[in-house]
Each structure stands twice: as C-alpha cells, then as structure tokens.
Amino acid sequence: MLLRVGELAKRSGLTVRTLHHYDAIGLLAPSARSDSGYRLYNRNDIARLHQIQALRRFGLSLANIGDVLANPGTHLSSIVDQQIRMLDCQIAQSTTLRERLVQLQGQLQRGEEPELAGWLTTLEMMNMYDKYFTKEEQKRFPLLSTAENSTVAEWAELVQSVQQAMETKVPPQSPAALALAKCWMTMLMRDSHGDPRLLAKLNMMHFNEPAAQAQTGVTLEIIAYVQQAYAETKYAIYQEYLSPAEMIFLRKNYIRGTSKFPALIAEVFQHMEDGVSPDDPRMHQLALRWMEVVRSYVGDDPGTQVKLREAMAQHPELLEGSGIDQRLLGYVRQAMSQLKPH
C-alpha cells in the first residue's frame, strides 16, 4: 500500500507542509514517487512516522529524533537528561509567572488595582532581571526589587541629585561631584555585598537594556558622569607618584581602560571561589588579560607600572568601588608570578 502525501497527512493529523519539511531535512523521505512526481509513502515510511510522532510527544527536537532514528543503538540517557533540564527550566518559569500572578491577585483583592501600564512595566523589569540574575542573586540585591523599599528610594534620591548636578553644570572635578560619586560607589558596594559578579552583571544590564535606564533613571550619561567624578578621586592620589606626562596618558585612557575590568574581575573572583589554583592555565590567561588592561591605561613602561603598584600599596582606598579586595589582588598577582617571560 502506498499513500500520497495528502492521504498520509489526513491520516496522521499532520499538515502536508509538515511532511514536506520532514522530507526536506531528511527525517522522513518517501520511498517512492509517482509518475507525476507526487510523494508516495509505504508501510515502513508510515511506521517511521509513528516513531517520529511518539518521540515528538516525548519532547525531543527534530534534530534529536533524527539522531535516535539514525542510530537505533544510541542510549537515550543524555537526551533524557537534556529534556529534564529543559522541563526544570520551564517549571521554574511557570513558577515565577504563578508568583507574579498571585502577587497581582493579592493587590486586586486588597482593592489596590494597579494601572495596566504600571504592571506591564513591572513585568518587563522582572523579565529583564531574570535575563541577568538568578533568583538567589535578586533576593540578595535589594536594588533589583520591583517593590518599594528604602534602598530603591535611597537610590532614586541619589540619581536625582546626580541629575541635578549635571543639569546645573557642576564639574566632575568639583567637591560636590566627588562627594556624590563616593556616595554612589559606597552604596553600590553595600547593596552588592562587594560581589564583583553582581557588579559585572549590573553593569552589563545597564549598558545593554534601555528599559533599565528608563526605569531606574540611571542613564549612560549619569554613569559616565559618576565614573569621571570617581576617577578624579584616583587621579588625586596617582599624581603624587606619576610624572606629568604619565598623568596625561593615565587621564586619557583610564576610564576606557578600566571599563574592561568588571567582567574580568568577576571571572577571577569566580575562579578564586571555585578553588582554582593560581598556577592553573585558566588563571594564567586571566592574568595576561589583567596585565593587558592595566597597560591600556598605564602604558608599557615597567617603571610606570611599578609606580602604580607602589601607589596601590600605600593607598588601599584606590581599590574602593572596584570589587577588588586584597585577597583577590593577591590571587591575581600569584597567577602573574607564574607566567613565563616572553
């Protein structure tokens, strides 16, 4: 018995287009064609289609189904593991959605019917936070809360103060701007618990997500202003150690160069927390990248680099706001000491 594609589609509950797609990707090719070019499927083809439909109901992708059918002896354990992880992810997403709906239901029952636009904005922020932070990280980071709290209010007030300073043309070098920048960094380290992984993710989110900028008021312009003002606190120390020419180079390249640090510091911190040895090749690569970043704003002169290290040794406050502490710095320097000179 041979069935044309339309008859097989009707009997199987699939569309002709689906069967054509299966043929195109090599998953279910008809055994024959009519003189007019119509696809013809025999008993073996139909049996294979039943297998495909069964595996689809199991949740496998077409690519995985093709692998299984091409290699009947293949163990399904790895594919099953993959499906379990996928289901776990879907369950987590469904749980999150349920929690949000319960929250909305509670508001409605209390007569606190939220405006649709406001609730949609909150939902958008929650989804955005989920892209960058785990649930555990969101709980640890009060700044990410979509509910009103003292931390959010405190940040809103600080953002407004910085915005006013910018609007009134307060120079980043002024004492008022330096005070705002120091306050900004102090609050940031407090709320992130000094965890450079959280700092790196927050940094990435604010640079990549216009919605985050709009919701928090922390625009790229505000970030740049705070960075410039905070850099001035560092320049005041470095100028005690560097020559005028070295300071010119530093001022020109410092902010652009140190912008590469957050993600790198987060990687180093994770390796340190995981117990990776400083002489591990992975740490050697990170140490090389670290040195490259430093050279990007200090220059290649070893003498200048020595001066920088001396300044950091004498002024630990140079590390404030960076996510770097003495333990992490020592870890990186151990890795650097393992590098072979070129």
Render pLDDT for 295-339 as a digit per residue (tens, 0 to 9): 999 999 999 999 999 999 999 999 988 888 899 999 999 999 988
Confidence of residue 248 (pLDDT cuts 50, 70, 90): very high
- Residue 32: enclosing H or E segment and its boundaries? strand 32-33
Render pLDDT for 9-53 as a digit per residue (tens, 0 to 9): 888 888 999 999 998 888 999 999 988 888 898 988 888 888 888
Q: Which of 137-151, 212-226, 326-340 has the lowest mean pLDDT?
A: 137-151
Q: How far, in Å, are 53, 146, 153 from residue 164 at the CA level?
A: 63, 24, 17
Buried residues in 114-148 as b, exposed as e (16+ CB within 10 A): eeeeeeebbebbbebbeebbeeebbeebbbbebee
Q: Measured at the alpha carbon of residue 189, what is the angle toward residues 186 and 190, in degrees to the nearest 5?
A: 80
Instruction: Report d(CA 88, CA 86) in Å as an integer.
Output: 5
User: What are the structural domains of the chain?
Assistant: 3-70 (1.10.1660.10), 77-144 (no CATH), 150-337 (no CATH)
Mean pLDDT of 203-225: 85
Which residue has better confidence, 106 or 156?
A: 156
Are the C-beta atoms of residues 290 and 268 closer than 8 Å to each other?
Answer: yes
